[in-house]
Structure 1
């Protein structure tokens, strides 16, 4: 009983502190009449979109953003209280949530004028209980926007599309599927040594325009992170030439998939975090390498997928089997569904290696081989250090 009371008192104290920081942060921002706020949320792509958008807008404006992956009400409030916003034009805020109501709480603090919803997927399904609850939580940003605000979201994603008609503000969409009539459509993507070249079709107010863009971004999914940034920049007055010039200075975010030379081998480093769609994109990147390369996927799987976890891991196992020679599973949680998905059809070898020193030894042996190694989701510290030291 004593412990229960103590925990309850600590929770009250913690909530009091959060409320206090939130009130102070809100008051501080309310005094900054010229600072405009852009909120970004979604099941994935939040951090990359924040980084790309901030780089793009910095060509014309002074921009401050929430650092790294700070995206909770308390983290954002503290950042606001520690930051001098003098002379800044825009504040780009990444908004995360683990339950309904958390994004609305952040919106109450920062009062966004523009909101970007990147995607809605089963990420954190075990915390939310259902995809509908995730949708409700993410939509809090778009529903909060003022009548004169702007909502930007992903028309390829059915959960993002579903309630757009209920919003009171202007809505713009982006996507790769023409059938959903996005305002920003990207086509004809080609990856070069400098980055991806693509055709940006802008369809606004009945006026259609095609622009060829040279980017310094790599991997297709970064183009999906670029699209809402292009729409935002266009809305804020960037013309075509300014957009092209600004893109010369936009590079792939640190958390994006990196292609790293590791001796004779190549590492596709996607170890920042993982989600089902991002994992699939990373697997697809293996197909760009010839059969001369041994193709290997090293992963622990994806956490917090709730009741869909086995089904999703089976599907991913099947996609790995189609392109990879070897799958190395480094944690026990999802061994069975991944193995079941791999099956026997394509003779993909499956290894389970939970001993991190043995895993390091396995990776070091690949250094002098013609191999492509996908590191998907968080890696043990000794593996991270090996990659940092040798690439």
Structure 2
């Protein structure tokens, strides 16, 4: 829009920014975003009636009639993004961007726990990590209240990280890993690497600092273009760390000064996420004792690598997301848990957004499952039928309702159960039957 400064003046008089008229408004700046089946302008009066202070709409006549309450923007989403970028340029604090194929939300939460030991931090809440969520996160940063910001960036196609970086203008960046996620949108594994590395390209062009996970074979090369680099977790890196095998379900790691940390998070695949948080904390001057306490004190509650005791069974609830890379890592970690293989159960749901590679990747998952020491394998969803072809011993359910009915009949007890699938499967609802 033409006059972002004028809109910024409205923003400064508001308590927050909103895009959902169903929520309480109470002094907000409301952006009437359009959807596939609705026009946001139709909900602007409702937002104002609920207490919004001002609304941005794509209705020039409405804005002209009541300029005190409405601002016209041909594209309210673009106006939201431009306002967020304008606000970012008023800030002088460090901004750390986090992206990656797997573990970015967990890493963000861990980094926030560590950095909050020393700084007043604002960070991405929930999964507000896309072209709408990133602007909302940026606009929630208060210059006199926050000393550092963490912005999670999600992407499912090339160019998206470039856009989000142009809005957030990060001073620091971290890519958790490069894996087989969103293959459909990225156009294959090579497209994933190019898309995620857009963050490092931005940092290289703007004299930023990159945190590089050297345990991922692709990231050191992708990050070589960045002049200022902080590496982890291998020996010889800036901040090395070591995974310590204790036989427990949760992760134990040794930090760069030999401090041992017993984390509450499960799965060896979370070791790089913990090491990343330690490296970021150390680079920002957080004392090692505080880093260790923060990592040990973090307990996941968002269906990501959650260890859940139901009274009947022990669950590894990892039902927030799934792709071939994260599925293989979760299975590898699960099979390494102590206990008899016959007592282990996996309940897996479809992996979404794999495009033309979906059949092949689900078939590969089935072949992997055949080789693993697991007593019961339950597969749920349309695409999982391809994984089920690998063995007649697998239990296959086209729908989650059928899987739930089977679990009710089984009345499993004394088992270790891994539950993992893409977010759209909603497999966490199966917990009540376990």
| TM-score w.r.t. length of structure 1 | 0.82
SS of the residue aligned with 2:413?
A: coil
CA distance in 1, matches of 2:223, 2:288: 27
**Which residue matches 1:187?**
242
> How far off is 1:77 after superposition?
1.3
SS of the residue aligned with 1:91?
A: strand
CA distance in 2, matches of 1:269, 1:324: 17
> How far off is 1:28 after superposition?
1.5
**Which residue matches 1:267?**
315
Structure 1's unaligned 5+ residue stretches are: 1-6, 202-208
1:58-100 alpha-carbon deviations (Å, 9 max, x no partner)? 0111111111111112222134335545321111001112222
**Which residue matches 2:368?**
319
Structure 2's unaligned 5+ residue stretches are: 1-35, 40-57, 59-72
CA contact (8 A) 1:264 1:369 kept: yes
Q: Which deviates more, 21-30 or 374-383?
A: 374-383
Q: What count of residue pairs does the alignment treat as equivalent?
A: 362
Structure with more contact order per residue of length (Cα contacts < 8 Å, sep ≥ 6): 1
Q: Which deviates more, 67-76 or 78-87?
A: 78-87
Matches within 5 A, 1:1-391: 16-33=75-92, 35-82=93-140, 84-145=142-203, 148-167=207-226, 169-175=227-233, 181-191=236-246, 195-201=250-256, 209-252=257-300, 254-284=302-332, 285-291=334-340, 293-321=342-370, 322-336=372-386, 338-340=387-389, 342-343=390-391, 349-378=393-422, 384-385=428-429, 387=431
CA distance in 1, matches of 2:145, 2:123: 14
CA contact (8 A) 1:155 1:161 kept: yes
CA distance in 2, matches of 1:141, 1:121: 16
SS of the residue aligned with 2:383?
A: coil
CA distance in 1, matches of 2:160, 2:428: 32
SS of the residue aligned with 1:299?
A: strand
> How far off is 1:117 after superposition?
0.6
SS of the residue aligned with 1:215?
A: strand
Q: 1:287 to 1:362 in 2, by over 3 A?
A: farther
CA distance in 1, matches of 2:191, 2:198: 11
Structure with higher Rg: it is 2
CA contact (8 A) 2:362 2:384 kept: yes
Q: Which deviates more, 187-196 or 82-91?
A: 187-196
CA distance in 2, matches of 1:129, 1:311: 15
Q: 1:287 to 1:157 in 2, by over 3 A?
A: closer
| TM-score w.r.t. length of structure 2 | 0.75
Q: 1:249 to 1:352 in 2, by over 3 A?
A: closer
CA distance in 2, matches of 1:379, 1:164: 30
